[in-house]
Chains A and B, each alone.
Chain A
């Protein structure tokens, strides 16, 4: 099978308007992936499925990932000459910037016809709050049907052109998205009398306030 760089070059050559980036995987597994832009994802996916050299007809796994907003502190060191003529001083300047988070969908593609793979593609939303729509790849690979429903259910990514997008694991009237990093579970579970640690702390809020002790008179 071609390397991921060769696939990227062919995709860019075939769809010049599409943005295809290589995302390197730093660990020992070295499974690099391609980040596709949402507008052309469907056409790129059809190309990957039908191209005679790739024939990636089997979408194995669809995963949602939550990347929350991150506060990054940049420390810049500048050398400031001493006006008095002595040693130049090194001044540290700390600036914090907010790297906006996003929701991401990762597709693992294999080929059953040519028995090779994986080719990993990713799609990212613009942000985590209001722009969470991505094109669905279910029309390309029916395998994404239930898995994209699960990503919608647990992460909140809305897949446009999905034939039947509704919750799959949680019940239909459920409101939140449980796999997000900032999900707060509702405080309605049954009291566990042997609770300790974090669960005991949460449970203390439900206990009745301690009875007022009479003050010791001198």
Chain B
């Protein structure tokens, strides 16, 4: 690379906050002493899975941070090339293992786009119900684990998990499994919930705001939490857009982009809900985003239970066996609880996909981890990582 090309590259990268190459910003002089390179992970209770952060520390301050992952890489995309379209559905449960219903939905959406498959009305409403329940599950996990990372041991975690367990019990009585639901199919849903299930789900959803109120009373005003999360891990909105961040992390920085409103997939345009936006882009805003999104999800769920129509849950012309979509390609995306979850499929007319790609929100949300952590202490990096919400099954696939 010529010298002028390098400076041109540096200038372009600097426009969006990134330096070229693995350079270290700190100064080696007699006042700063040696820099310490610490590998946080891959076995670590706070890194949300097998995730490694190679942090270079000046005392306790982070001067460089490189995320390293791939420890959970199972090459899911290659397995999918050797499996039928339906056979990949249970594997998608295991990508983002906390949100299996929404991952199934994104894959089913992509395949339905690829093959032009229609979905009946009741199935669309059921998908929204399951999707929003999954959002409640995921955000409960996140706020619980965030407080775990802050050091409050297990009390807030178990308060959040108490509600999560109720939703997982609902999933178990509907689809047979708490987390690996394998519920969506191409053309609808697999199981029709009974009236008893719907009544239990409605009761849970109506009770959910009381749990949120109790949780907020317990924690949101907590001075220690405010001191440790406000102003920590600021994310610039222009950098966030350019780095492809999506989901609550992006909206906490003030960028109004929610795929439920932009694409209007499923029957989301029929529902009345707001999209919360943050003002500062720090960890506290990312935490509050999850609480506010849970409240909006409750609103969506209440509307969905009220308007749920009767009818078939699966298109009668949909095929379970011998499914061969016409050659072509499609990219189907949804607003998952972590961000934009997309599936890009290329079909060549055979029962197996030619190319199957998962667009993982957790991986792309990690792009700016270094920028968010620079200048903070190593204890803050744990909190910032917790607020980004990663699941290693999705990062590594």
Interface residues of A (CB under 8 A from B): 25-29, 31, 57-61, 63, 65, 106, 108, 112, 115, 118, 120, 138-147, 160-161, 163-164, 167-171, 178-179, 183
Contact = CB atoms under 8 A, between A and B. Distances in A.
Q: Select the residue from A25, A29, A65, A164 with max chain B CB neighbours within 10 A.
A: A29
A63 B12 CA distance: 23
B223 interface: no
A139 B114 contact: no
Given A112-B241, A147-B364, A164 B22 contact: yes
Interface stretch (B139-147, B210-218, B294-302, B355-363): B355-363
Nearest to A138: B13
Contact of B13 (A31, A61, A163, A179): A163
B174 interface: no
A20 to B, nearest CB: 19
Given A142-B367, A143-B244, A115 B239 contact: no
A179 B79 CA distance: 10
A61 B116 contact: no
B93 interface: no
A161 B9 CA distance: 7
A63 B241 CA distance: 19
Q: Select the residue from A26, A106, A142, A169 with max chain B CB neighbours within 10 A.
A: A142
Given A29-B113, A170-B73, 12 more contacts: A57-B242, A106-B344, A138-B13, A142-B242, A142-B243, A143-B245, A146-B364, A163-B21, A164-B20, A169-B73, A169-B396, A170-B70
Contacts of A167: 70
Given A139-B13, A147-B364, A178-B75, A61 B344 contact: yes
A107 B325 CA distance: 23
Nearest to A169: B70
B329 A29 contact: yes
B113 A179 contact: no
Contacts of A31: 329-331
Interface string B341-364: 010101100000001010100011
Contacts of A28: 113-116, 326, 328
A153 to B, nearest CB: 8
